[in-house]
Amino acid sequence: MKVPVKLTVNKKPHSIEVDTRMILADMLRDVLRLTGTHIGCGTGSCGACTVMLNGETVKSCSILAADVDGQEVTTIEGLSTSAAQLHPVQEAFVKHQGLQCGYCTPGMVLSAVQLLQDNPNPSEEQIRHGIAGNLCRCTGYQFIVESIQAAAQQR
């Protein structure tokens, strides 16, 4: 069964019909072709699919697309305005090698943005807890933590 959904994604309004079974992550990826939102587990455990819903991070594999009617979504593609001008958190990840394969990175960056919104001067422990919902298998997190520390210092 299909239902109409009106929502704003990365400040652009969309009016689409979605299958009632469709998860938000699939709608973003398959319908809107915003493939920066990655799916790592489909069960809300890994955080690769993290997006912002009305300014708060959520795991988009665990939300039905039909349930975001009337709401506002920001994906990794909406975080920066152009390739040359990345968000400061993204710039910090680039500079401090807060990534390797890049698959968990969009979700990790969005969780870091949320963390710094909530707490502009987090301790190392607070950073580690702030990204505990995002699994990374490549980096051991150390350079991610350092990237977030660097981004915090720049603010």
Contact residues for another protein (CB under 8 A)?
Answer: 19, 21-22, 29-30, 33-43, 45-46, 48, 75-77, 79-80, 83, 86, 90, 93-106, 109, 124, 127-129, 131-145
Q: Is the dihedral of CA 129, 96, 94, 85 positive or negative?
A: positive
Q: How far is the CB of 40 from another protein (least distance, A)?
A: 4
- CB of 7 or CB of 26, closer to another protein: 26
Are 145 and 134 spatial neighbours (Cβ–Cβ below 8 Å)?
no
Q: Least distance in Å: CB of 62 to another protein? A: 13
Question: How far is CA 89 from each of CA 7, 13, 20, 65, 83, rounded to the nearest angstrom?
Answer: 26, 26, 35, 28, 14
Q: Which is nearer to another protein, 12 or 70 (CB)?
A: 12
Give me the least distance between CB of 13 and another protein, in Å please. 21
Dihedrals phi, psi of 119, to nearest 5 degrees: -145, 95
d(CA 81, CA 83): 7
Q: DSSP labels for 94-106?
A: HHTT--SS-SSHH
**Which has the closest alpha carbon to 37: 24, 50, 55?**
50
Smallest distance from the beta carbon of 133 to another protein, in angstroms? 8
Whole-number minimum distance, CB 53 to another protein, in Å? 17
Chain centroid to CA 112: how far? 9
